[in-house]
């Protein structure tokens, strides 16, 4: 797996690659063992590069958002967890386009600011965020 890490640090910031990361830090339920690799991804180009390297090195991977609907076993995950950090929100006509890393609180707040109704309850998912300010 050192080869994989060396490939990653050629293109990514070292702070975005964590070895042996506790998954309980990244789930709303605060449970989960260690993942071999935890990688923050900020754009599609990085995501494609990482997945290509994972496949090349035959390393299992799993892609997550904010971990609000995620349970990880206590014995962890053998492979790489990719955390999407796509935080852009766009409003186009009658649509909202939100990146995979946008928190529900942020989405609800921005929708309310734009006068869009129906997002008010998202501020309470997961329950610990009730109500996001």
Interval 75-124: pLDDT, tens = 999 999 999 999 899 998 878 999 988 888 888 888 888 888 887 776 65
pLDDT for the residue 68: 77
Q: How confident is the model at residue 130 (pLDDT cuts 50, 70, 90)?
A: very low
* Overall pTM surpassing 0.85 (yes/no): no
Contacting residues for 90 by C-beta, under 8 A, at least 6 apart: 96, 97, 98
What is the token pair recorded at 78?
Answer: 């053998």
Q: How far apart are CA 129 and CA 109, in angstroms?
A: 13
- What are the angstrom distances between the C-alpha of 81 and each of 58, 94, 99? 14, 34, 18
Residue 38 or residue 28, greater confidence:
38
Residue 106 or residue 35, greater confidence:
35
Interval 42-52: pLDDT, tens = 999 999 999 99
pLDDT for the residue 129: 46
Contacting residues for 97 by C-beta, under 8 A, at least 6 apart: 88, 89, 90, 91
- What does the mean pLDDT of the chain come to? 88
């Amino acid at each position: 797996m050192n080869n994989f890490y060396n490939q990653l640090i050629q293109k990514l910031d070292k702070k975005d690659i964590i070895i042996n990361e506790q998954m309980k830090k990244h789930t709303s339920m605060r449970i989960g063992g260690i993942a071999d690799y935890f990688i923050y991804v900020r754009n599609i180009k990085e995501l494609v590069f990482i997945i290509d390297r994972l496949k090349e090195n035959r390393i299992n991977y799993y892609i997550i958002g904010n971990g609000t609907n995620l349970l990880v076993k206590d014995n962890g995950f053998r492979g790489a967890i990719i955390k999407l950090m796509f935080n852009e929100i766009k409003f186009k006509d009658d649509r909202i386009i939100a990146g995979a890393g946008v928190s529900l609180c942020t989405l609800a707040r921005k929708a309310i600011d734009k006068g869009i109704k129906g997002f008010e309850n998202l501020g309470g998912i997961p329950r610990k965020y009730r109500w996001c300010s």
